[in-house]
Structure 1
Amino acid sequence: MSRKILGLDIRPDAVSAVLINSSIKGTVIEAHEHVPLSGRKEDRNGLADSLETIQQKMDLSDSICVASFPADEISYRNIQVPFKGQKKIKKILPYELEPTLPFPVEELIIDFIHIEIPDHTNTKNLITAAVEKSKLQSFLDTLVAFNIDPEIVTVGGYPTAFSLSKFLDSHKNWLFIDIDNNKSTIFIILSGNIGLIRSFAIRSASLSYKIKSLCGNIRRTLYALEKILGLDFELDGGFITGCGIDDLGFDKDMEQALGFPIERVDVLRFAEILKQQPPPPSWIPFLMNNALSLALMEIQGAKGFNFRKGPFALKKIWEENKKNLIQTGVFFVLVLSLGWFNVFLDSYFMEKRLARLNHQITGIFTSTFPEVKNIVDPVQQMKIKIQQARKNALLPGETEKQIRAIDILNTISKAIPKDMDVTLNRFVMGSESVSISGDTDSFNSVDNIKSKLEQADIFKKIIISAANIDKFDKRVRFKLKVNL
């Protein structure tokens, strides 16, 4: 069975879409598009125009959509909490973030991811992302107008950063910058974990001025991360992507300004499940990386930021599966009915068999003891007759010493005072003696138990065969041999 996954990367100045078909035969890229956002036309926004173009060029029917929300419209915070439970974190998160956010928390949708920081074992480090409900609602309304209802809405650029954190050497520190024409987002990857996310505007009067503005923001962000997490680290390199790096020398100029290697990302080169196919025609990595990473996250089942929660959680399960659910319900009722019918038949035949067995038992009893005319419970009456026959079978002069276990237990119970701290946990009865095991609070108590039992008429002799103190609970474990 195949699945179609649509990765929809929505940015401040463009929309990129990658449609992947995943089946048991393999995973292939069916189609891809990159459409710059146009200006607002009458009552339509640029996003609607771009989505219309994508819908005309790509068959989006029956596809699962994973979309990104523009990263520059999201507020990010790094916080620490003293516990790890998801439920507790969700409860206290609004109170922790409220003093630091420019909007009331009730107007925001907040999600978070965990980050692992060395030497921070006693606290849980989080990156939180908060988006205004009104903007998210407008975003989803625009998508739904084109029959696109994404299962996941995540942070723009985050899927690519997440993919890099898994592809790259986990013992090194990396920088990933998602660059648009006038905005950029930084993801700092520390030892395989995303440690910080920040978005900021960049001045783009000229290429040199744009790079100077961008690198200045990067240095300030790195300094802020050292202060926030209390770490002293060095970057091993950086990766860039986005529609703002179309100039050929962009990465080299950044490398000279920052002093460490900068490389353009090509997610298609890293993706194992897509390595068997050549790049599609007109594929430009820095324009399609984020959309491809969105689709790959869904295929791989990776978890991360998702703003489809609370009032924006998916509510289409019943509508999409109504027919299947009804069929399943009918099948369940049918199976349940057959089950009850089977129980009824089993009960009926069991009663018939029981009546037949009772008749056979009565027949055996009457043939064995024909003198008994009043038959009430043939099994019990037969037991009594057998016991009487055994007593009558004793030879003359023989005596039968019959001491019942219940009588012994009753004697022990009466002999030991109720206020004595003693627990009996083993009782083994033989023909001539009884072995009793238990525990009590002291050796004196063992002696008291022995003396009390010696007063009973049915016991000939009491012997303490063992008495030891348990190392763990400090109680005396004892064994008594009682001669009958």
Structure 2
Amino acid sequence: MSISDFWKNIWAPKSITGIDINGKYINIVNILNLGKTIKLKQIASEEIKKIDRLSDQLSSIFQRHRINHEMVVSCISSSCCFIRELSLPFDNIKKIQKVVKYQLEPYVPAPIEELIVDFLSLNGGTSPLLVAGVPKDILTQHISLFSEIGFEPQIISIDIVALIFLYLYTNSIASQKIEGPVAIIYFSSEHTSVMIINNNDIDFIRVLPGRIHDTQDIIDTFKFYKLKKSEFQIKKVLLTGYLSNQEELKSKLEKELNIEVSEWRPFDTISSEKNITIDKQTRLSVALGLAIYPLYYGKKLLNLRKEEFSYKKEGINTKQILTVGVYVLLILALIGVDLHYRVSTQKQLYNSLRKKIQLVFRRTFPEVRTIIKGKELFQMKQKMSEEMSKYQWINDITNKPYCLDVLKNLSMSIPSSLNIKVENLLIDGNKVEFEGYAPSFEAVDELEKALKRNHMFKTIKLVGAK
């Protein structure tokens, strides 16, 4: 997880409730967001008793099951939407959001001003797009249903989109991931939809209006996909929704399609303490997809709460602020502990080195009685400099010619025939001075020439002669 996803996860609500209200049932799934994983908290499924008392029944379910509504995600049935696949010549999301509504206009039999339009990427990028338009009066009725019980859904999507995201999520965490195209057939009381997902991409969607009692329309849909995507072979077919005579349906589809067909069991991959039957798993699949929907960071979400239907937050979420505060305090505490550990370790190392320096100091200079704490190294360097200065003459001798070498070279340079007598000799650094007697000025000249021939003496200078 990236840093941005980490902070998104912190701000994300810890409790999310997905609500799927269709023509026959109210289905509710509540999950806990635990960061990297989720846990199933509550489920509820009730047949709608009276359509005109729907809000009362919904409120009763929340009260009886004590379902949290910190964040609510609901959906509109695909049968109430205009769903089209569109391709645009650009990929900029902000630009698409500005023009997509008017790009859909030629393909819908209703005034575009009366629709709320949003889109979803089909194939990993941003084009082609799955574009959905929903009449505003349907959204108004949908939101007012929740307003009557005291809260509103923050996100409103479409049932088939919730199923797509549910498959992407469950397949990503499954121990054995399905590779290649997988078909999901959703049986609703209002429509039957076929979705084909190829790995992480949405390959194909078809919404068949009304409840299908014959498999021929489904088989024709698969044939149409085969014509469109002849290079792909569907690996598996998953059935979900309101299934009746599922064994007969499975056998028919397997025989006609020659593909493995099974009921979809998405709850098997979710951590839960509940034992959920296959019938409930297929019925509650849309509600589970809606609950997971806000946590999926990989794709752009299709959210119909736009324009005048945008969700207006009712103040600060105290729980989120407290959660962030706890995380910040925890991070600061960890930084403080790490800093304290580093300082403590460095202090121990420093004290250990100081004791070793003191020990070496006392052994080397036992005459020093007082060692200043914290200045041991400086004091020892100072004492070493003092001691070394006492023996500087040794260094001077090693770097300069010995006196005997000078006398030897001087003696060898003076010819014995000149009868020269040296009385005083002074060696001062690199300078040699001597005084003596010579029998004649000619002998002095000969001495100067002889000394110049000796390479030990660079410059020969006669100071005086008398």
Residue 165 of structure 1: how far off its partner (Å): 3.3
Residue 156 of structure 1: how far off its partner (Å): 0.7
Q: How does 1:343-422 map to 2 (within 5 A)?
A: none
Contact 1:72 1:185 in 2 (8 A): no
For the pair 1:148 / 2:151, whether they are aligned, the reply is yes
Q: How does 1:319-334 map to 2 (within 5 A)?
A: none
Letter in 2 for 1:34: S
SS of residue paired to 1:197 = strand
* Residue in 1 that maps onto 2:263: 264
* Residue in 1 that maps onto 2:253: 254
For the pair 1:219 / 2:216, whether they are aligned, the reply is no
For the pair 1:71 / 2:68, whether they are aligned, the reply is no
2:59 to 33, 52, 64: 52
Equivalents in 2 of 1:172, 1:127: separation in Å?
Answer: 20
The alignment's TM-score, normalised by the length of structure 1, stands at 0.56
Equivalents in 2 of 1:93, 1:312: separation in Å?
Answer: 18
Identity %: 22
2:181 to 161, 173, 182: 173
* Residue in 1 that maps onto 2:241: 242
SS of residue paired to 2:142 = helix
Letter in 2 for 1:179: F
For the pair 1:164 / 2:164, whether they are aligned, the reply is no
Equivalents in 2 of 1:280, 1:198: separation in Å?
Answer: 29
2:305 to 296, 308, 324: 308
Contact 1:35 1:53 in 2 (8 A): no
Equivalents in 1 of 2:87, 2:44: separation in Å?
Answer: 40
Residue 317 of structure 1: how far off its partner (Å): 4.6
Residue 26 of structure 1: how far off its partner (Å): 7.3
Contact 1:80 1:125 in 2 (8 A): yes
Equivalents in 1 of 2:154, 2:292: separation in Å?
Answer: 14
Equivalents in 2 of 1:186, 1:4: separation in Å?
Answer: 30
Equivalents in 1 of 2:311, 2:304: separation in Å?
Answer: 11
The alignment's TM-score, normalised by the length of structure 2, stands at 0.58
For the pair 1:194 / 2:205, whether they are aligned, the reply is no
Equivalents in 2 of 1:268, 1:149: separation in Å?
Answer: 26
Residue 80 of structure 1: how far off its partner (Å): 1.0
Equivalents in 1 of 2:37, 2:208: separation in Å?
Answer: 39
Question: 1:333-383: per-residue Cα shift (whole Å, max 9, x none)?
Answer: xxxxxxxxxxxxxxxxxxxxxxxxxxxxxxxxxxxxxxxxxxxxxxxxxxx
Taking structure 1 as reference, are residues 301 and 295 closer, same or farther at Cα in structure 2, changes over 3 Å only?
farther
Residue 232 of structure 1: how far off its partner (Å): 4.4
Unaligned runs of 5+ in 1: 205-209, 329-484
| TM-align CA RMSD | 3.4
* Residue in 1 that maps onto 2:24: 13
The structure in which a higher percent of residues are strand is 1
Q: Which has the larger radius of gyration?
A: 2
2:138 to 135, 140, 143: 135
Contact 2:78 2:191 in 1 (8 A): no
Residue 285 of structure 1: how far off its partner (Å): 1.0
SS of residue paired to 1:102 = coil
Contact 1:172 1:192 in 2 (8 A): no
SS of residue paired to 1:134 = helix
Residue 135 of structure 1: how far off its partner (Å): 0.3
Residue 74 of structure 1: how far off its partner (Å): 1.2
Residue 154 of structure 1: how far off its partner (Å): 0.9
Residue 298 of structure 1: how far off its partner (Å): 2.9
Taking structure 1 as reference, are residues 39 and 254 closer, same or farther at Cα in structure 2, changes over 3 Å only?
farther
Taking structure 1 as reference, are residues 282 and 58 closer, same or farther at Cα in structure 2, changes over 3 Å only?
farther
* Residue in 1 that maps onto 2:191: 183
Taking structure 1 as reference, are residues 314 and 145 closer, same or farther at Cα in structure 2, changes over 3 Å only?
same
Residue 23 of structure 1: how far off its partner (Å): 4.5
* Residue in 2 that maps onto 1:360: none
Contact 1:184 1:199 in 2 (8 A): yes
SS of residue paired to 1:244 = coil
Residue 85 of structure 1: how far off its partner (Å): 0.2
SS of residue paired to 2:87 = strand
2:127 to 124, 128, 145: 124
Question: 1:256-304: per-residue Cα shift (whole Å, max 9, x none)?
Answer: 2333111111111133xx16x4535898211222212221223445642
Letter in 2 for 1:138: Q
Equivalents in 2 of 1:175, 1:80: separation in Å?
Answer: 23
For the pair 1:93 / 2:100, whether they are aligned, the reply is yes
Contact 1:67 1:152 in 2 (8 A): yes
Letter in 2 for 1:284: K
Question: 1:237-259: per-residue Cα shift (whole Å, max 9, x none)?
Answer: 21111123464443233322333
Equivalents in 2 of 1:316, 1:74: separation in Å?
Answer: 26
Count of residues in correspondence between the two structures: 306
Contact 1:29 1:280 in 2 (8 A): no
